[in-house]
Amino acid sequence: MTKAAVVEDSLTLRKYLANLIGRTPGHKCICTCEPAEQAVLEIPKRRPDVVLMDIHLSGESGIACTARLKEQMPGLQTIVLTVYKGIRSIFQALKAGARGYPLKRADQSKILEAIAAIRAGGAAMTGEVARMVVHAFAESPQKAPAARGMDQLSDREMEILALVAEGCSNKEIASRVLLCSSTVRAHLMHIHQKLQVHSRTEVATKYLRLGH
């Protein structure tokens, strides 16, 4: 039995996805949530196998919610659903821990296929999205635009930035660079200010786009 949770801003779509999962043999929708703050509280209690996550939620974004849930539940498998297909959003979602990125306009069979794919240990995204990811990584670092503010980072900040891009938590970073957690948080605050970003996923995306 695959237990699933739905985090979706639209009540209509939330009910649709819950019904789709509920009527599919071998699947059960154990909770639906909105906003992200509710999801962060409820999903760890319910322990689903899979989460269908909307990117654009009221309050905190679905990408930030995915990252927070991943910290609490490392084995959680998240599929991000969105109407957007910008490469920036795709990288943010994947870096936050999403295992799939089907578009909302996909028919219901594609959503169920995405759940089956990640439950089998794979990844799930449309061919269109996959081609965008491959193309972005195929760009040579010389052709990638320089991220504004990156040259202002100190060697220590670059070291911490690289660990953020690896998906390390603040606690893991502190252990690896032999600093206390409060010092790591201070460095991250300076990195955010210099790069003019607002989350660790945006920071990681800038780092990856430079070809590091």
For the segment 25-56, what is each residue's pLDDT rounded down to a tens digit?
A: 999 999 999 889 999 999 999 999 999 999 88
Q: How many CA atoms lie within 13 A of 151 on its CB side?
A: 3
**Model pTM?**
0.61
Non-local (6+) Cβ contacts of 197 within 8 A are 203, 206
What does 158-199 look like in DSSP terms, one character per residue? HHHHHHHHTT--HHHHHHHHT--HHHHHHHHHHHHHHHT-SS
| Helix (H/G/I), strand (E/B), else coil: 118 | helix
Structure tokens at 38: 């509710």
Longest dimension (CA), the chain: 54
Question: Can you list the domains of the chain with their CATH numbers?
Answer: 2-138 (3.40.50.2300), 150-209 (1.10.10.10)
**Residues 194-205: b if buried by 16+ CB within 10 A, e if exposed:** bbebebbbbbbb
Quick: pLDDT tens for 49-74.
999 999 888 888 888 899 999 889 98
The tens-digit pLDDT sequence of the chain (212 residues) is 999 999 998 899 999 999 999 999 999 999 999 889 999 999 999 999 999 999 888 888 888 899 999 889 988 999 988 776 666 777 778 778 888 777 676 678 888 988 988 888 766 666 666 666 656 655 544 444 444 567 788 878 888 888 887 777 788 888 888 889 899 889 888 888 888 877 766 777 767 665 44
d(CA 41, CA 160): 28
